[in-house]
Amino acid sequence: DAGVIQSPRHEVTEMGQEVTLRCKPISGHDYLFWYRQTMMRGLELLIYFNNNVPIDDSGMPEDRFSAKMPNASFSTLKIQPSEPRDSAVYFCASSPDSIHSGNTIYFGEGSWLTVV
Amino acid sequence: AQTVTQSQPEMSVQEAETVTLSCTYDTSESDYYLFWYKQPPSRQMILVIRQEAYKQQNATENRFSVNFQKAAKSFSLKISDSQLGDAAMYFCAYRSGVGTGANSKLTFGKGITLSVRP
């Protein structure tokens, strides 16, 4: 069974450019999460979806960040315009319904973003 | 709101020895799940072990086991027969078991870096 798939794995972009990170969750999972990891702030939850609907986006840093989940098998996290302080590892994760299946959240391999 | 605390930033263990990583959490809920994730230098987040709060028995996965003390809100990870491949950052995490929707996020501690000496 395929895990959470993220792309690109690595991206280097110039300040001001638009960045789009993509995620395919595990089939059948109802929840999708976007986390960001930096040395300074650790792991931060940016936003999560339940059945394609955004539930909590309070972690999205500012209007430059947006996330969509047009269907159950695809989500994007977009940064426009990008800034050097956005450099981080961005993780997508998914889980089945929180009442069942042990509540385990499975992570993708992460997208390493560097903004120069 | 729930919080997870990992007060030790770093630990070191000799290969083949046993090491215990500490984690405490704060919650007013009675139904929840606790996790340990491993993050090697590749940065991938790998699930190590999971504990359901309603279970009294401590979870075990091969060389990994937990000491879950619900009253003390403590959830430590024991690694037996440590191997060089165990060197990584380890994160303790909490997830509510109450309902769906707004309670579904995973709350992480700051992590602990484990090094293994050959």
The whole-angstrom separation of Cα A18 and Cα A14 is 9
Instruction: Establish if B54 touches chain A: CB-CB under 8 angstroms.
Output: no
Tell me if chain A has a CB within 8 Å of the CB of B58. Answer: no
Q: Which residue on chain B is closest to A103 by alpha carbon?
A: B33
Is the minimum CB–CB distance between B52 and chain A shorter than 8 Å? Answer: yes
Residue in chain B lying closest to A34 (CA): B105
Q: Each residue of B13-35: pLDDT tens digit?
A: 999 999 999 999 999 888 889 99
Does residue A71 contact residue A52 with C-beta atoms inside 8 Å? Answer: yes
Which tens digit of pLDDT belongs to each residue from B86-115?
A: 999 999 999 887 665 556 788 999 999 999
3-state SS class at A102: helix
Whether B102 sits inside 8 A of A98 (CB atoms) is: no
Check: CB of residue B33 under 8 Å from CB of residue A103: yes
Contacts of A60 in chain B (CB under 8 A): none
The CA R_g of chain B, rounded to the nearest whole Å, is 14
In the three-class reduction of DSSP (H, G, I as helix; E, B as strand; rest coil), residue A19 is classed as strand
pLDDT by 10s per residue, chain A, length 116: 679 999 999 999 999 999 999 999 999 998 999 999 998 888 999 999 999 999 989 999 888 999 999 999 999 999 999 999 999 999 999 988 755 555 688 999 999 999 99
Which tens digits make up the pLDDT trace of A16-38? 999 999 999 999 998 999 999 99
CA angle, residues B11, B15, B16, in degrees to nearest 5: 115
